Structure 1
Amino acid sequence: MSELPPLNQDTIGSILSEELDDCTVNQLVWYYLGYRYHECSNTWDNSLVAEDWKREYPEPPDFIANRPPVVKLTRSIPPQGKQLLKEQLGFKGYKIGEFGPRQTRRATMANWLLSYLHQNNPHV
């Protein structure tokens, strides 16, 4: 895995504006879910991953290409984190006709990461 950008509001904004590529966005979510890749053995270590994720996804899922893991990610955002993109970043969503499943999934991933950041550093 390549070196990841720091988890901050600028990085999350870069996800929404599509400045970060899909692979990096997936890798960010994988990292904060607890997945670790060992390049020497070309294997994934999921020992830090929550049991419900580990059971369903022993290896990290591609959130951009697949709907089921994004649904699970959405459901894992606590209620107080659901509006953080709007409240903290002023994100108004996408206009009808200007987005598809890929953008919606990226927004969900950005929201999950912002919620994670807020839970682990409430002063952000």
Structure 2
Amino acid sequence: MSNLPPLNTETIWAILNDEIDDATVNQLLWQCLGYRYDTAANQWDASELLPEWQDEYPQPPDFIANRPPTVKLTRSIPPENKQLLKEQLGFKGYKLGEFGPRQTRRATAANWLLSYMQTTR
């Protein structure tokens, strides 16, 4: 996960515009949530995760391919940060007929990362 793009608005836009692959989006989320890969033990270390993530997802989930972890991600965004994509980036959403579950999950990931940026500064 050392070759991840910087967490900034350009990266958020790249996620929304599908310029960053799903694996990298997942890795950004995993890093921010606290998942760490222990190369010596050849396994994931979830000790830095919040308890509600440790219990339900001791292994990092694929947020783009699976709905349940994305729902949890959505619910973990503070209410005041739910509209950050629109408020800070002017993101108007995807056009009707040009999006599906994958794009919706990528937008959720982008909003969660933007919220994370907001709350960790």
Scaled by the length of structure 1, the TM-score of the pair is 0.94
Partner of 2:55: 55
The DSSP-based 3-state class of the residue aligned with 1:44 is strand
Partner of 2:90: 90
Aligned residues: 121
The DSSP-based 3-state class of the residue aligned with 2:27 is helix
Once the two structures are superposed, the pairs formed by residues 8-27 of structure 1 within 5 Å of their partners are 8-27=8-27
The DSSP-based 3-state class of the residue aligned with 1:52 is helix
Partner of 1:74: 74
41-50 vs 21-30, greater mean Cα deviation: 41-50
Q: Return the offset for 1:2.
A: 4.7
Partner of 2:113: 113
Deviations 1:62-120 (Å, cap 9, x if unpaired)? 00110000000000000111010001111000111100100000000000000000011
Please identify runs of 4+ aligned residues in structure 1 that moved more than 3 A. none
How far apart, CA to CA, are the structure 2 residues paired with 1:111 and 1:48?
22
Q: What amino acid is the match of 2:26?
A: N
Taking only the aligned residue pairs, the percentage that are identical comes to 70
Unaligned runs of at least 5 residues, structure 1: none
Deviations 1:34-82 (Å, cap 9, x if unpaired)? 0001233320011110000010000110001100000000000001110
